[in-house]
Amino acid sequence: MNSDRCKEPRCLQSRFFDERRKGAVVDTIVIHSMFNPDADDNFCVHSCKALLDSRKVSTHYIIDRAGEVWRSVPEEQRAWHAGESCIPDATDARSGVNHFSIGIELIGSHDSGFTPAQYEALARLSCQIAKCHAIRQVYGHADIAPARKSDPWNFDWARYAADLKRLGGDAANIRVRPGI
């Protein structure tokens, strides 16, 4: 893959989304992790998407174990990924994070960690998103909903931050977990 371009995501459309608040500016990325414990293949993107659908939630993107990026909700729409949530930074304690964020699910379990291909795809996708939106910060789901969530599990935040710096451009100045 050319380092200056991101491969176009594959489509795995969700029906669980709606309009963002009028005037909402997307400036945050929220990283999640998931797997489907009831599926024959816990890490199959289609079974993970089916689990999201069964819970009537969604995400903008899913990154599978091979690093393939799947788009489920258009970025201009509000995906239902964060639930009751609040930015944990004293200088930015906004609530209702779905209204101003892009949600990205990484397929992985509590024990599996994430693949090098997933980290690379996540960094490149973050760069692509930063070219279209004024992304200022990235959080994990557990950061914005600590009483309810624990993901992304075993995520290497230092690696991700280094990947953003390495790729440069609009993503180089994104703050990773400010206030945490």
As beta bridge partners, residue 92 has 89
Residue written as tokens 């557990």?
A: 142
The one-letter amino acid at 74: P
Going by C-alpha positions, the residue among 107, 13, 16 that lies closest to residue 68 is 107
- What's the CA gap between 85 and 42, in Å, rounded? 27
**So which residues are the catalytic ones?**
105
Helix (H) or strand (E) holding 48: helix 45-54
CA separation for the pair 62, 80 (Å, rounded): 13
Strand pairing partners for 29?
102, 138
